[in-house]
Amino acid sequence: AQKVTQAQTEISVVEKEDVTLDCVYETRDTTYYLFWYKQPPSGELVFLIRRNSFDEQNEISGRYSWNFQKSTSSFNFTITASQVVDSAVYFCALGNFNKFYFGSGTKLNVKP
């Protein structure tokens, strides 16, 4: 079965704090993709990153970084020096070309 678990329903931090959003997945596929999407209050889903199952290199993009660990089936997302504009719901997703399974999302509140 394919499943994505985002155990943190809501996180509140103060601006400039670092925050990590957890994502744990289950799949029997050997080839799969993992994604993170951001959904700001406007509602539109914004693509952040895609990672395939053969690429376990961590990635850093500005204040964002992702830690993919196949051994623990986790794909965690860290925001460094958070800003108020980072406030949104963040979704982790798992899939291939056919169907993507989304976690229930983590709502991040960044307070000034």
Binding site for other proteins (CB under 8 A): 33, 35, 37, 43-45, 47, 49-50, 91, 93, 96-105
Please state the closest distance from residue 13 (CB atom) to other proteins, in A.
Answer: 20
Helices (H), the chain: none
When the beta carbons of 71 and 98 are compared against other proteins, the nearer one is: 98
The two three-digit tokens of residue 98, written as one number: 């056919």
Q: To the nearest whole angstrom, how small is the minimum distance from the Cβ of residue 96 to other proteins?
A: 7
User: Closest distance between other proteins and the C-beta of residue 1, in Å?
Assistant: 13
The smaller minimum CB distance to other proteins, of residues 35 and 75, is found at 35
Closest approach of Cβ 24 to other proteins, in Å? 14
Residue number, 79 or 93, with CB nearest to other proteins? 93
**Strand blocks (E) in the chain:** 3-5, 10-14, 19-21, 24-26, 33-39, 46-52, 59-61, 64-69, 74-79, 88-95, 100-102, 106-111
Select 64 or 102, whichever has its Cβ closest to other proteins. 102
